[in-house]
Amino acid sequence: CFWSGTMQFYNCDFEKARNSIRRTLDINIAAKSPWGIATLKALLAFFYHYYTGELNSFKQLSSEALNAAKESGDPVSKSISHTAYGYVCYAKSRHLEDAINHLREGKDLSERIGFYVWAGIAWTGLADTYFEKAEYRKSRDCYDQLSRSMKQARSNPSFVRFADLGIARCDVTLGKRDVELPCLREVAEKNRIRLAEGWICNFLGEILLNLG
């Protein structure tokens, strides 16, 4: 159920992903697994409520997950829950410093236990948050770390290419003009994850607008 939900999430089948993760959560509730309950609540919040724009529900469920993860003391559930709550603060936009604090905590926990895929998700959130704060060099560094995390995990090559596009967006925003556009368009052509399509098109659009 968990892996079905994950693949449905990557394919933007958010309703199906919600059902699969909800079923996994119910199994963990029946098994009375504190770390499992905390983890699945955070994933349900992130996979469904964040990407469908239900930010109040996202905040409530992520907060429940974070409190449960802290009580369990489990590093996996804490890494996921801190990261998810960091995205809550980013999405609310008035709490960007809180977003950075929670995302850094999620990233540090993920890297400490070798959970590099989730560290990459935290690095993505940090990159977006710093970009929102107009701290473009810090955002660029985070995209670079995202690329490193995915390479360490030997996972998601589409997200490695996406990180390269994020670096280019920061460079162009900082004034760089010698950008190889064919290479950037190739990122879009080689993407195999539907979830990344919107980000890639958005980043390419920003790059082209900044180049005039």
Which pLDDT does position 27 carry in this prediction? Answer: 97
Instruction: From first to last of the 212 residues of the chain, give the pLDDT tens digit.
Output: 999 999 999 999 999 999 999 999 999 999 999 999 999 999 999 999 999 999 999 999 999 999 999 998 899 999 999 999 999 999 988 789 999 999 999 999 999 999 988 999 999 999 999 999 999 999 999 999 888 877 777 777 777 888 889 999 999 999 998 888 888 888 888 888 899 888 899 999 999 999 98
pLDDT score for 108:
96
Give the pLDDT confidence score for residue 95 in this predicted structure. 85
The pLDDT of residue 125 is: 95
How confident is the model at residue 168, as a pLDDT? 93
Q: What gap in Å lies between CA 53 and CA 60, rounded to an integer?
A: 13
Q: According to the model, what pLDDT value does residue 186 have? A: 83
Residue 184 to residues 102, 167, 188, 196, 211: CA-CA distances in angstroms?
Answer: 31, 11, 7, 14, 13
Tell me the whole-structure pTM to 2 decimals: 0.92
d(CA 151, CA 192): 16
| Distance from chain centroid for Cα 118 | 8
Under 8 Å between Cβ of 184 and 161: no
- Specify the pLDDT at position 69: 95
